[in-house]
């Protein structure tokens, strides 16, 4: 059930934002949805790592991969940006599970490249299509090379509606069996960048046994701040995907305008769906 109008609080946030913002949100109990620029294509930045994680668990479910399989990090995998493995010695060996945790929790770009090589870009894009995402695509591994002209300026693009669809289908058990669904969500709950969706919510990320939890993935590049996730509370649960582009604030600080816009939208949707 789609909401016919965008809540006034969302419109105010959009009006005061220097860039372009898109939103897709779904109340997982009532089915009510809220959309704004939901079919506009944005750079996903690291948010595409949700789809990589999905394909990882699809291959595990099919018996083509195990979480304890060990993979070696080569120099060719290393890239700049978020993460820690780039700064470790060449030849570090990590399990698929640990690479996945690093990819999601601290958005480790080198871990992501190792997993892309292991899984395959074509298979990841098939997982994207099978998840119901019609406008999202992974083009390449993560490379930051200003000396080389890249065929695709962004390594992935997509829409808020696509990411809302993926997370809804995951939560409702349409993409993986119960074991793999829960294990994928468990990895997504290990999120160390908490300035976006959860910034203004009553949420303790260290209360592991709580009924209140968030499973999400952020994405940030210059002028872009994104996050998609499931916000599960005692009052209800919803999926939300907020994507931005063209933000004039180029700072890499917690008070970046795009970061605050995502946080304010998340708070407004939480109030709209659940009353707090």
Reference 60, options 96, 31, 21, 17; nearest CA is 96
Residue 76 has a CB neighbour count (10 Å cut-off) of 11
Give the rounded distance of the alpha carbon of 55 from its chain centre. Answer: 14
Please say if the pLDDT value at position 4 is more than 60: no
What pLDDT does 132 receive? 97
What pLDDT does 202 receive? 80
Please say if the pLDDT value at position 146 is more than 70: no
Mean pLDDT over 214-231 rounds to: 96
Q: Per the domain annotation, does 46 fall within a domain? A: yes
Mean pLDDT over 202-217 rounds to: 80
Residues 181, 62 contacting (CB under 8 angstroms): no
Range among 85-99, 125-139, 144-158 with highest mean pLDDT value:
125-139
What is the rounded radius of gyration, in angstroms, for the C-alpha atoms of the chain?
Answer: 18
Q: Per the domain annotation, does 251 fall within a domain? A: yes
What pLDDT does 272 receive? 95
- Residue 212 vs residue 57, higher pLDDT: 57
What pLDDT does 82 receive? 84
What pLDDT does 226 receive? 97
Work out the mean pLDDT of the chain and round it to a whole number. Answer: 92
Q: Per the domain annotation, does 117 fall within a domain? A: yes
pTM: 0.94
Q: Per the domain annotation, does 151 fall within a domain? A: yes
**Domain containing 174: what range?**
8-274
d(CA 247, CA 25): 21
Mean pLDDT over 149-156 rounds to: 79
What pLDDT does 6 receive? 84
- Residue 172 vs residue 79, higher pLDDT: 172
Contacts made by residues 92-97, CB under 8 angstroms, sequence distance 24+: 94/70, 95/67, 95/68, 95/69, 95/70, 95/71, 96/56, 96/65, 96/66, 96/67, 96/68, 96/69, 96/70, 96/71, 97/67, 97/68
Residues 42, 180 contacting (CB under 8 angstroms): no
Contacts of 168 (CB under 8 A, 6+ apart): 26, 28, 239
Q: Per the domain annotation, does 122 fall within a domain? A: yes
- Which CATH number do you get for residue 81? 3.40.710.10
Residue 57 has a CB neighbour count (10 Å cut-off) of 23
Mean pLDDT over 201-226 rounds to: 86
Here the tokens at position 171 are: 């939560």
Count the domains in the chain: 1
Mean pLDDT over 110-120 rounds to: 97
What pLDDT does 147 receive? 45
Q: Per the domain annotation, does 32 fall within a domain? A: yes
What pLDDT does 148 receive? 59
Residues 51, 136 contacting (CB under 8 angstroms): yes
What pLDDT does 209 receive? 63
Mean pLDDT over 102-128 rounds to: 97
What pLDDT does 233 receive? 87
Strand-pair partners of 156: 138
Q: Per the domain annotation, does 1 fall within a domain? A: no
Q: Per the domain annotation, does 3 fall within a domain? A: no
SS (H, E, C) the chain: CECCCCCHHHHHHHHCCCCEEEEEEEECCCCCEEEECCCCCEECHHHHHHHHHHHHHHHHHCCCCCCCCEEECCHHHCCCCCCCHHHCCCCCEEEHHHHHHHHHHCCCHHHHHHHHHHHCHHHHHHHHHHCCCCCCEECCCCCCCCCCCCCCCCCEEECHHHHHHHHHHHHCCCCCCHHHHHHHHHHHCCCCCCCCCCCCCCCCCCCCCCCCEEEEEEEEECCEEEEEEEEEECCEEEEEEEEEECCCCCCCCCCCHHHHHHHHHHHHHHHHHHCC
Please say if the pLDDT value at position 238 is more than 80: yes
């Amino acid at each position: 059930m789609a909401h016919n109008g965008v809540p006034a609080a969302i419109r105010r946030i959009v009006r005061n934002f220097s860039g372009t913002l898109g939103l897709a949100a779904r109340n997982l109990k009532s089915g009510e949805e809220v959309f704004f620029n939901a079919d506009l294509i944005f750079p996903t930045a690291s948010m595409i790592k949700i789809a990589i994680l999905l394909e990882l668990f699809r291959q595990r479910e099919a018996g083509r991969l195990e979480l304890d399989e060990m993979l070696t990090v080569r120099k060719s995998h290393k890239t700049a940006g978020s993460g820690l493995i780039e700064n470790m010695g060449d030849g570090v060996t990590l399990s698929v599970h640990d690479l996945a945790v690093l990819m999601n929790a601290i958005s480790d770009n080198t871990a992501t490249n190792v997993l892309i090589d292991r899984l395959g870009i074509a298979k990841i894009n098939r997982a994207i299509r099978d998840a119901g995402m019609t406008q999202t695509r992974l083009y390449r591994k993560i490379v930051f090379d200003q000396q080389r002209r890249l065929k695709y300026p962004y390594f992935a693009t997509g829409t808020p509606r696509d990411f809302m669809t993926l997370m809804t289908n995951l939560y409702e058990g349409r993409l993986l069996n119960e074991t793999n669904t829960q294990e994928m969500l468990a990895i997504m709950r290990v999120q160390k960048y908490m300035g976006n969706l959860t910034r203004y919510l009553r949420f303790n990320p260290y209360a592991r046994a709580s009924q209140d939890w968030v499973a999400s993935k952020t994405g940030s590049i210059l002028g872009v701040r994104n996050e998609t996730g499931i916000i599960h509370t005692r009052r209800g649960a919803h999926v939300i995907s907020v994507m931005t582009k063209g933000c004039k604030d180029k700072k890499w600080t917690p008070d970046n305008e795009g970061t605050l816009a995502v946080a304010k939208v998340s708070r407004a949707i939480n109030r709209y769906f659940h009353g707090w």
